[in-house]
Homo-oligomer: A and B are copies of this chain.
Amino acid sequence: MSDRFLRACRREPVDCTPVWFMRQAGRYLAEYQEIRAGHSILEVCKTPELAVEVTLQPIRRFDLDAAIIFADILLPLEPMGLSLEFAAGEGPVIANPIRTAGDVAALGAVRPDADLGFVLESIRQARAALAGEVPLIGFAGAPFTLASYAIEGGGSRNYIETKRLMYRDPDAWHDLMGRLSDAVADFLAAQVAAGAQAVQLFDSWVGALSPDDYAEYASPYSQRIFSALAELGVPRIHFGTGANTLLPLMAAAGCDVIGLDWRIPLDEGWAAAGRDLAVQGNLDPVALFAPEQEIERRVLDIVKRADARPGHIFNLGHGILPETPPEAVGFVADLVHRATRRTG
């Protein structure tokens, strides 16, 4: 049984640096592809036995220090009234995106037990199946990233519609963000009640914003979520990509652990976020396509930059890509453990 991950989140000493990977349950694993051959992403999310199975797959295969429940950040948008589909190979598509104040006003509230009970049940079953072997992480999308999908109707390159609403109808924007942050705060609290031992807030696309826009239009809502979670006593991880100029603001939103992408050296990112936080990261996901010797050089550089300070959780700078060779994942996990083992 490994409590390295939770200890590192609290910046307590550990026997060696804990490792997990964003999207460690996913398409790069043949056993996941087998499940998906018969079921859509949404079916897997909504069927606890399947969600638990794919949650456990990477834990069985690799020496990882945390499991993360299999789910999707967009799930809370469905009970709010948005129609969510995953087009083959194209990512999420929302057929009725939000464009007006009226669209925002028409959104429903999310009742986690009634609307997202399948995620909570998956968490309960995954906790039981893990039997304390490694902790289980719950997660949700941050309000900005959820809003960007809800407004654009899917992924986006330039976030024109998102920013148009933000700039042209700030009242509608703030209404939407308030609703999303309420939904996410309740959902994460319910995940903790169901057994999640840490939570990660994914603000994956927040790097599209300038620091001023982040401070005005996004950060207050992430802050509201972290604040609501504070009393639950579980570590709160805050993650964005392409967001290195936002790190001090993201840290100030109230998390315990800051996630870094690979665009900033770990020590510099840690210093920018603040040494009073733990830090998670930050190998380039594409480094897993390199030869082992080159992967090793990069992993050891990150370990060196962490400088054996308490509070480093090894991870990638973004999720594992579907084309990733699975053996690279195991290689990195073992290497991090070996290279950081504290003696005596």
What residues of chain A have their CB less than 8 Å away from a CB belonging to chain B?
158-160, 163-164, 167-168, 207, 209-213, 242, 244-246, 262-265, 268, 284-287, 289-291, 294, 301, 321, 323
Which residues on the B side are within 8 Å of A268 (C-beta)?
245
A238-B275 Cα distance, complex, nearest whole Å: 33
Q: In the complex, which of the residues B212, B244, B289 contacts A265, with contact meaning CB atoms closer than 8 Å?
A: B212
Q: Is the CB of A160 within 8 A of B265?
A: no
Q: Is the CB of A211 within 8 A of B158?
A: no
Q: Is the CB of A164 within 8 A of B265?
A: no
Q: Is the CB of B286 within 8 A of A164?
A: yes
Task: Work out how many copies of this chain go into the complex.
Answer: 2
Which residues on the B side are within 8 Å of A294 (C-beta)?
167
Which residues on the B side are within 8 Å of A164 (C-beta)?
286, 289-290
A262-B213 Cα distance, complex, nearest whole Å: 10
Q: In the complex, which of the residues B160, B210, B242 contacts A323, with contact meaning CB atoms closer than 8 Å?
A: B160
A160-B328 Cα distance, complex, nearest whole Å: 15
Q: In the complex, which of the residues B168, B210, B242, B246 contacts A284, with contact meaning CB atoms closer than 8 Å?
A: B210
Q: Is the CB of B291 within 8 A of A167?
A: yes
Q: How far is the CB of A324 from chain B (nearest CB, A)?
A: 9
Q: How far is the CB of A243 from chain B (nearest CB, A)?
A: 8
A28-B268 Cα distance, complex, nearest whole Å: 40
8 pairs, A vs B, C-beta closer than 8 Å: A158-B286, A158-B321, A160-B286, A160-B323, A167-B289, A207-B242, A210-B263, A213-B284
**With A167-B294, A242-B242, A245-B244: A160-B211 Cβ-Cβ less than 8 Å:** no
